[in-house]
Amino acid sequence: MEKPLLEIRDYRLNFNTFDGVYHALDGVNLSVVAGQSLGIVGETGCGKSVTVRNVLGLLPSPPADVISGEILYRGKDLLRVDQKEMQRIRGSEIAMIFQDPMTYLNPVFSIGTQMVDAIMAQQKSLPREQRKNKREARQHAIAMLEKVHLPNPEKQIDRYPHELSGGMRQRVLIAMALSGAPKLLIADEPTTALDVTIQAQILDLIAELVEDMGLSVILITHDLGVVAKICDRVAVMYAGQVVEYGSVDDVFTRPRHPYTEGLLRSIPHPGRPPESLSGIPGFLPNLLSPPKGCRFFERCPKALEKCRETPPRISRPEKGAEALCHLYSEERGDA
Amino acid sequence: MLSMFLKRSVLMLGMLLGLLVITFLISHVTPGDPAALAAGPDATTEMIEQIRTERGFDKPVIQQFFLYAFGILQGDFGTSIHTTHEVFDDIVAFFPATFELVVFSILIAILLGIPLGVISAVTQNSWIDNVIRIVCSSGVGLPMFWLGLMLQLYFGLQLGWFPLGGRLDLMTDPPMTITGLYLIDALLTLNFPVFLEALHHIILPAVALCFPALASIIRVNRAEMLETLTQDYIVNARAQGISVLRIIGLYALKNSILPTLALIGLRFGWMLGGTVLVESVFDWPGIGLYTVQAATASDFEPVMAATLVLGAWFMFANFLIDLLYGWMDPRVLKKG
């Protein structure tokens, strides 16, 4: 099997809050192979963003507290690299775009100033003769804006964020993230805050850039359609755990975990009557005191008696597919 | 930017007119005899009547206002009883000392306050932050004149590090008058001994005067900085690989400094009120001391003139801050 570009292993993370310890992530395992794209889906609060934020060391600690695990990027553990190395990786190896384009651009600097600044910062580790000067950096910024199909980039580059629409700002943020030619792009719900038509445009753009630049992508979303469109593999997260992991085709046509089944049933389809639509009853468990057994037990239609007390382990019902569920561990008899 | 400048200018002219109306009402219309007030406590009845006709206090109120306003536009603020000079000349003579003191103080407050606010925010809840916050609380709480007296007693009398008052030693000739600000004039005439002496004299009163402003600038800048550092665009800047120092010193500071600017404008104005106390304590020959001496001598017209000048200054300071705001924050210009 191909060596993964990024691999997250047994990642456990708590938040120390006034109400107690919040067990946000519990043994997350994920990997992205170079040139592939991974979708992470799940409902709000299931730990999607938290999982990826620390890839770039962006979670403030406190309150975040890494209990165990490693995030390996080309064999380097990103949870344990020093500040300088992390700064080198940010933008030029791994880049990130975020949910709300309205708040992720600095309101008091022009687009160009921010982009040029990022470009200048990202080339610090290059040898001096390869670095761009400010004028070249600005040219590069304009080229990047062109690449994300921002109309009239020579003019837009001198505008301030409040003069651009949400879709334009997300394009700017994408251009900014990709200006350091990273290998891996982490997109944290990049379309959630946008209008539906703009969403489609931005997704097309991401798909196009992935193709163009040979990027690997981690795409976080709660929109399964988006994953089906862009990703090769998908991880379904529930309450701080990856409950199912496999190729998109496989997971969407033959979901194994009852939660994935529920998720797929809750997507409306144009052709089908609305009665066929069903949600998943119940709520996410309180992660201040997570359930003893399976975290999905309370809401699971197929729950067994052992699910209440015994946490399930990862089982591999087939090659390349993983599920965190007792239903499959029993089949193989290795629970 | 130009339209904003014009708008704010018109607004300021309107406010100046309002200020004129208020000082006019206080000096001419409030109960009491304006002629008697202008004539001073020791005037005879004939002198009061003479002043009444001379200054037009017997005319209708509206006419009096126009007389008053035009007089002021021509620099006629009346005559001081205790200095026997035209009030206008007195103000021209005393104003530079106050201006020097206040500008020096606000510069200390800004140059120390903003970095200390940032340091306090970045080291939140550490011992450094705690020390800064304790100093701030006392700065906001301590009365300025008391602080001035304590500084004088300790650093002036006990340790003998600084002179007790005045702008220069009694025997020193002031530098040639160019701006009236001794520090600047001494530098311009390359008179370094006088420059150092003037600096030596200004430090204690400036510290006393700037302390409350310094404390509140630190507090506001700290709070704004803490708030700004949690913003999404800071996270994005970090994700772009921009260094921590640059993020704090540029990305966050330019955002958090905007509310601090408004505060600096207010504080700059308030300092003028403070100079009345500080100048009295340190025997600093400025408008504050002049006004206090006039007030204790029941010398009415200098007090009104000082009110007008200080009020106008307050407006002008805020006008400047408004313009600075527009320059710093592109969103302000858009709204005009």
**pLDDT tens per residue across span A254-294:** 888 888 888 888 887 777 777 777 778 888 888 888 888 88
Under the banding of pLDDT at 50, 70 and 90, the label for residue B301 is confident
Under the banding of pLDDT at 50, 70 and 90, the label for residue B218 is very high
User: What value does the mean pLDDT take over residues B10-20?
Assistant: 89
* B254 touches A at CB < 8 Å: yes
Percent with pLDDT over 70 in chain B: 98
pLDDT on residue A330? 56
CA-CA-CA-CA dihedral for B280, B283, B287, B290, to nearest 10 = 80
Those residues with Cβ within 8 angstroms of residue A237's Cβ, 6 or more apart along the chain or in another chain = A28, A40, A41, A42, A46, A47, A48, A51, A243
Give the neighbor-by-neighbor strand order of the sheet with A76-77. Answer: A20-33, A4-17, A64-73, A76-77
Residue A160 exposure: Cα atoms within 13 Å on the Cβ side:
12
Q: Is B334 within 8 Å of A87 when comparing Cβ atoms?
A: no
Average pLDDT taken over every residue of chain B: 86
pLDDT on residue A1? 54
pLDDT on residue B131? 93
Strands (E), chain A: 4-17, 20-33, 37-41, 64-73, 76-77, 94-97, 184-188, 216-221, 233-238, 241-247, 314-318, 321-324
Under the banding of pLDDT at 50, 70 and 90, the label for residue B223 is very high
Cβ burial, residue B257 (10 Å; 0-12/13-18/19+): buried
User: What value does the mean pLDDT take over residues A147-154?
Assistant: 90
Work out the minimum CA distance from B315 to partner chain A, whole angstroms: 26
Q: How many CB pairs under 8 A join A and B?
A: 84
Determine the topology of domain A1-82+186-191+216-294 in CATH.
Answer: Rossmann fold (3.40.50)
* pLDDT tens-digit series, residues B49-58: 888 887 777 7
HEC letters along chain B: CHHHHHHHHHHHHHHHHHHHHHHHHHHHHCCCCHHHHHHCCCCCHHHHHHHHHHHCCCCCHHHHHHHHHHHHHCCCCCECCCCCCEHHHHHHHHHHHHHHHHHHHHHHHHHHHHHHHHHHHHCCCCHHHHHHHHHHHHHHHCCHHHHHHHHHHHHHHHCCCCCCCCCCCCCCCCCCCCCCCHHHHHHHCCCHHHHHHHHHHHHHHHHHHHHHHHHHHHHHHHHHHHHHHCCHHHHHHHHCCCCHHHHHHHHHHHHHHHHHHHHHHHHHHHHHHHHHHHHHHHCCCCHHHHHHHHHHCCCHHHHHHHHHHHHHHHHHHHHHHHHHHHHHCHHHHHHC
**Cβ-Cβ contacts under 8 Å, A91 against chain B:** 239-241
pLDDT on residue A104? 92
Contact A140, A128 (CB under 8 A): no
Under the banding of pLDDT at 50, 70 and 90, the label for residue A332 is very low
* B193 touches A at CB < 8 Å: no
CA distance B45 to A313: 106
User: What value does the mean pLDDT take over residues A187-212?
Assistant: 86
pLDDT on residue B53? 82
Query: Beta strand pairing status for A4-17 and A184-188?
Result: unpaired
Q: Parse chain A into domains and list their residue ranges.
A: 1-82+186-191+216-294
User: What value does the mean pLDDT take over residues B299-318?
Assistant: 85
User: For residue A98, is pLDDT > 80?
Assistant: yes
**Cβ-Cβ contacts under 8 Å, B231 against chain A:** 103
Q: Most A CBs within 10 Å: which of B126, B226, B240, B260, as the mutation test of the A interface? A: B240
User: For residue A335, is pLDDT > 50?
Assistant: no
Tally of CB atoms within 10 A around B305? 26
**Cβ-Cβ contacts under 8 Å, A104 against chain B:** 232-233, 235-236
Under the banding of pLDDT at 50, 70 and 90, the label for residue A173 is very high
Percent with pLDDT over 90 in chain B: 20
* Residue in B232, B242, B334 nearest the CB of A100: B232
Q: Is the peptide bond before B60 cis (omega within 30 degrees of 0)?
A: no
Q: Tell me, what amino acid is at A60?
A: P
Strands (E), A113-183: none
CA distance A170 to A189: 11
User: For residue A156, is pLDDT > 60?
Assistant: yes
* pLDDT tens-digit series, residues A25-66: 888 888 898 888 999 998 888 888 888 988 888 888 778 888
pLDDT on residue B335? 55
Under the banding of pLDDT at 50, 70 and 90, the label for residue B226 is very high
Quote the tokens at residue B133: 């916050």
Say which DSSP state A291 is in: -
Q: Is A89 within 8 Å of B243 when comparing Cβ atoms?
A: no
Quote the tokens at residue A22: 């919040």
* Residue in A108, A110, A121 nearest the CB of B242: A121
CA distance A55 to A52: 5
User: For residue B283, is pLDDT > 70?
Assistant: yes
**Cβ-Cβ contacts under 8 Å, A106 against chain B:** 233, 236-237, 251, 254-255
Those residues with Cβ within 8 angstroms of residue B62's Cβ, 6 or more apart along the chain or in another chain = none
Q: Tell me, what amino acid is at B8?
A: R
pLDDT on residue A158? 92
**Does the structure's ipTM exceed the value 0.90?**
no
pLDDT on residue B336? 45
Which domains are delineated in chain B?
87-335 (1.10.3720.10)
* B332 touches A at CB < 8 Å: no
Contact A259, A243 (CB under 8 A): yes
User: What value does the mean pLDDT take over residues B153-165?
Assistant: 88
User: What value does the mean pLDDT take over residues B79-107?
Assistant: 87
Quote the tokens at residue B18: 């309002």
Instruction: Return the exposure string of B1-18: e unless at least 16 CB atoms fall within 10 Å of the residue's CB, then b.
Output: eeebeeebeeebeebeee
pTM of the model: 0.80
* Residue in A83, A89, A108 nearest the CB of B328: A108
User: What value does the mean pLDDT take over residues A102-130?
Assistant: 88
* pLDDT tens-digit series, residues A218-255: 999 888 888 888 889 999 998 888 989 989 888 888 88
Contact B90, B197 (CB under 8 A): no
CA distance A30 to A71: 9
Tally of CB atoms within 10 A around B145? 15
Under the banding of pLDDT at 50, 70 and 90, the label for residue B183 is confident
Tally of CB atoms within 10 A around B334? 12
Under the banding of pLDDT at 50, 70 and 90, the label for residue B121 is very high
**Cβ-Cβ contacts under 8 Å, B235 against chain A:** 58, 98, 104
CA dihedral sign, ordered B220, B268, B275, B20: negative
pLDDT on residue B321? 86
